[in-house]
Amino acid sequence: GENVEQHPSTLSVQEGDSAVIKCTYSDSASNYFPWYKQELGKGPQLIIDIRSNVGEKKDQRIAVTLNKTAKHFSLHITETQPEDSAVYFCASLLYSGGGADGLTFGKGTHLIIQP
């Protein structure tokens, strides 16, 4: 089955700097890659997603890039703010004609924004 590796497990950056979280996946047929943010005591919240027919997607300070050849995708957060502190999860999913199985998640990255 699909395996998703996520790095780093912890990332500490100064407020205002950029943060980058990287993930690799194993199943070349996977075609949907969401990123979730989870704050303490809450459920995962979708922040951005990308499909395999797109190489890059941006939403304000957040961007995701996808390299299908390398089976690698990354989350970029610019101008980080204290409220960006949370655990971030990458995930992959294979959508096919019959539907899809569940998301396969990475282990998560604890992002700490230092004031």
**Residues of the shown chain interacting with another protein in the complex, contacts defined by CB under 8 A:** 32, 34, 36, 42-46, 49, 51, 89, 95-96, 98-108
3-state secondary structure (DSSP) of residue 111? strand
Cα distances from 34 to residues 9, 10, 16, 78, 89, in angstroms, run 18, 19, 24, 18, 8
When the beta carbons of 41 and 115 are compared against another protein, the nearer one is 41
Phi, psi dihedral angles at 94 (to 5 degrees): -105, 110
When the beta carbons of 27 and 78 are compared against another protein, the nearer one is 27
When the beta carbons of 19 and 50 are compared against another protein, the nearer one is 50
- 62 alpha-carbon distance from chain centroid: 10
Query: What minimum distance in Å lies between the beta carbon of 43 and another protein?
Result: 4
d(CA 58, CA 28): 23
Query: What minimum distance in Å lies between the beta carbon of 2 and another protein?
Result: 10
Query: What minimum distance in Å lies between the beta carbon of 35 and another protein?
Result: 12
Query: What minimum distance in Å lies between the beta carbon of 67 and another protein?
Result: 21
